[in-house]
Amino acid sequence: MATHVLADTGVLTGRSLRHILRSPDTIITTAVIPIALMLLFTSVLGGAINTGSQQSYVNYLLAGILLITIASGIAYTAYRLFLDMQGGIFERFQSMPIARSSVLWGHVLTSLVSNLVSVAIAIVIGVALVMGFRTGAPIGIWLAVVGILVLTTLALTWIAVIAGLTAKTVDGASALSYPLIFLPFISSAFVPTASMPGAVAWFAENQPITSIVNTIRALFAQQPVGSDIWIALAWLVGILMAAYAFAIVLYRRKIR
């Protein structure tokens, strides 16, 4: 049974990846947003921002840019899932001897691959290196950062699955990324939370993006991560489990 599910998931993941390869405009659009933001903050605004840190500003903001990249990319999952539902592909899959859960997992794994390989890692970090990003972090630290990004991508993608299953229009499905892209701006991603007004600072300090950003930034700087890593993991695992459970319930109702 497990082999059957894995085989079906692999086939459907390949199908979704081929859709992305046939839509290079999607990859370009997703990549341009974080790169443009990095150029804006480092070249235009960076000199006017005091982070109170000894590290360069590109090192300071990279973690936030990585999260914005992921948030931009997961909108495509909601969009593709919505199109599959509207096109009747779910009904066709129901008539075939395939594991039902593999339909959703195909979209989720496609999001994971496309975000981490095509955009978040290869493009953004490549540009950051050209712009002066430097870290002496060993391979173990890099693997820890990748692990956090994987968990972040999975958590946000299952939220995107919910949006794709519940959206009434294509625009509604695609609009999911907007609030997710906005969240890093109200966090420690670009400026210290201490520089924000009281209520905004409280929200910034207690939302999940801040702990994730602080963890990735500390890992790259090879500094103690403190309690941030445990707070980040608690947020990510909690969001992932809740979003997954809700998405499965919605999916079962859709295919009855």
Band (208; pLDDT cuts 50, 70, 90): very high
Average of pLDDT values for 184-196?
87
Q: Is the pLDDT of residue 233 over 90?
A: yes
Q: Is the pLDDT of residue 1 over 50?
A: no
Pick the residue with more confidence: 164 or 127?
A: 164
Pick the residue with more confidence: 195 or 117?
A: 195
Backbone φ and ψ of 134, nearest 5°: -140, 140
Q: Is the pLDDT of residue 182 over 90?
A: no
**What are the Cα distances from residue 35, in Å, to 6, 42, 48, 124, 157?**
35, 11, 19, 6, 21
Average of pLDDT values for 14-26?
70
Place of tokens 């991603």: 189
Could you read off the pLDDT of 88-101 as tens digits, one per residue? 666 666 666 566 66
Q: Is the pLDDT of residue 78 over 90?
A: no
b/e code 24-51 from CB counts within 10 Å (16+ = b): eebbeebbebbbebbeebbeeebeeeeb
The separation between CA 248 and the C-alpha centre of its own chain, rounded to angstroms, equals 20
Average of pLDDT values for 22-43?
72
Report the C-alpha gap between 111 and 27 in whole angstroms: 12
Average of pLDDT values for 162-179?
80
Report the C-alpha gap between 4 and 105 in whole angstroms: 13
Q: What is the pLDDT of residue 110?
A: 80
First to last CA, the chain: 22
Band (119; pLDDT cuts 50, 70, 90): low
Q: What is the pLDDT of residue 52?
A: 67
Residue type, 77: T
Band (58; pLDDT cuts 50, 70, 90): confident
Pick the residue with more confidence: 155 or 182?
A: 155
Write down the pTM of the prediction: 0.85
Mean pLDDT of the chain: 80
Contacts of 122 (CB under 8 A, 6+ apart): none
Q: Is the pLDDT of residue 235 over 90?
A: yes
Report the C-alpha gap between 165 and 256 in whole angstroms: 14
Number of domains in the chain: 1
Range of the domain at 239: 2-254
